[in-house]
Amino acid sequence: MGEVFRFKRQQNVGPRPRRRLSVPWHAVAGVACGALIGAWIAGPITDQLRPIVGARAVFSLCAGAGQKNCVIDGDTIRQDGLTIRIEDIDTPETYKPKCASEAARGRRATDRLVELLNAGPFEVVYTGGRDRDRYGRKLRTVMRDGRSLGDALVAEGLARPWDGARRSWCG
C-alpha cells in the first residue's frame, strides 16, 4: 500500500521578522540623491579632466552660431559646438573694439589662431582652475607638444598673458 508521509509542523509560521538596517534607509537615500544632484549641477568630472583632442578638425572664422569648429576671436574658439575661452591669454577685441588699432590687431590675432589650430593636432586641456567664465564659456588651455598656443600668440605680440585684469589695447 501507499506510504504515509508525515510533515513536522513548523513553529512560528508567518512572516519572517524584518532585519533592522544599521543606517536608516532615508539617510542612504539622501546621500545618493545629493550625489546625483551634485553631479548634475557640476557636470561630469571626466569631461573636465579629459583633454579634447582637435586632431581632425579644420577651423575657420566663425560666421554663425551653427558652426562646430571655428575661431570666434583671438582667444575664443568653438570646438565640436562647445565655446572655449583660452584661459592663459588676452587678445584685442574684434567685437566692439575701442580703437582702430585694437580692431586691426584683434583681426591679426584671430587669423593667426586659425593658422595655429590648423597646423596640426592639439589638445584643449582643463588645468584645474575655474571651469567656466561669466559668459558660460569653458576655460581651457590649448596645447601642442606640451606648449600653449597662447604662448605663441604672446611671443608674436598678438596677445598678452592673462593676469585677470582687463586693460586697453589702444594707445
Please identify which of the residues 78, 105, 108, 137 carries the catalytic annotation.
137
Residue 92 gets the label, from left (phi > 0), alpha (psi -120 to 50) or beta, of: beta
Q: Is 123 a catalytic residue?
A: no
Please identify which of the residues 85, 108, 112, 140 carries the catalytic annotation.
85
* Dist. CA 142–CA 87, nearest whole Å: 9
Q: Is 93 a catalytic residue?
A: yes
Q: Is 19 a catalytic residue?
A: no
Amino acid, single-letter form, for residue 33: C
Instruction: Output DSSP code: residue 10.
Output: P
> Which secondary structure element, helix H or strand E, spans residue 127, and what is its range?
none
* Dist. CA 42–CA 24, nearest whole Å: 28
Which residues, in sequence order, are bridge partners of residue 82?
79
Which residues, in sequence order, are bridge partners of residue 132?
138
Please identify which of the residues 78, 87, 93, 102 carries the catalytic annotation.
93
H helix intervals, the chain: 25-42, 45-49, 100-118, 149-155
* Dist. CA 130–CA 122, nearest whole Å: 21
Q: Which residues are catalytic?
A: 85, 93, 137
